[in-house]
């Protein structure tokens, strides 16, 4: 089995995996970073979203071989203590119900705000359009995004 060196949460890790193994399974099964969720496996729900080189991307659609040399951040790497402004805003707004989709939602927002600290509602809607929440907490998600924007721009 081939060996790959990845940069995950600002640490260099070595993994043994087939080149075409989805990054999602490397994160969850090999590195035991289970915050990244499996939702659909076909890039339709956003549950597996991670940040790769500053962009929110579906880990179910990226192979381990294609992630060599890239900076990968999972929900565990966003902050060690839940202090990231997006995580704090999620708590303030009481977003989660079941919580399953929340890591992907949070990572999408963190990537967006990493590129644009004052996104328009249209930009927010476009960024979040592929992140599904079966509990329907979209109004609280939007509230949390605006709380995070306010906090970042203080």
**Average pLDDT per run of 10 along the chain, which is 154 residues long?**
96 98 98 96 95 98 98 96 96 92 97 97 95 92 97 94
**β-pairing verdict for 71-73 and 49-52:** antiparallel
The model's pTM is 0.96
Residue 42 confidence (pLDDT): 94
In contact, 45 and 132? CB cutoff 8 Å: yes
**Helix, strand, coil share (%) of the chain residues, nearest 5:** 40, 15, 40
Residue 1 confidence (pLDDT): 86
Residue ranges and CATH numbers for the domains of the chain are 3-77 (3.10.20.30), 85-152 (1.10.150.120)
């Amino acid at each position: 089995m081939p060996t790959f060196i990845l940069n995950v949460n600002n640490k260099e890790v070595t993994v043994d995996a087939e080149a075409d193994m989805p990054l999602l399974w490397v994160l969850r099964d090999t590195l035991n970073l289970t915050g990244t969720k499996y939702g659909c496996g076909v890039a339709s729900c956003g549950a597996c979203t991670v940040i790769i080189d500053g962009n929110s991307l579906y880990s179910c659609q990226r192979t381990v071989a294609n992630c060599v040399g890239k900076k990968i951040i999972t929900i565990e790497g966003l902050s060690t203590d839940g202090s990231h402004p997006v995580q704090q805003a999620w708590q303030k707004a009481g977003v989660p119900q079941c919580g399953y989709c929340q890591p992907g939602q949070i990572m999408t927002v963190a990537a967006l705000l990493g590129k644009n600290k004052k996104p328009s509602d249209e930009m927010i809607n476009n960024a979040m359009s592929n992140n599904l929440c079966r509990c329907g907490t979209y109004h609280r998600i939007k509230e949390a995004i605006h709380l995070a924007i306010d906090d970042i721009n203080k």
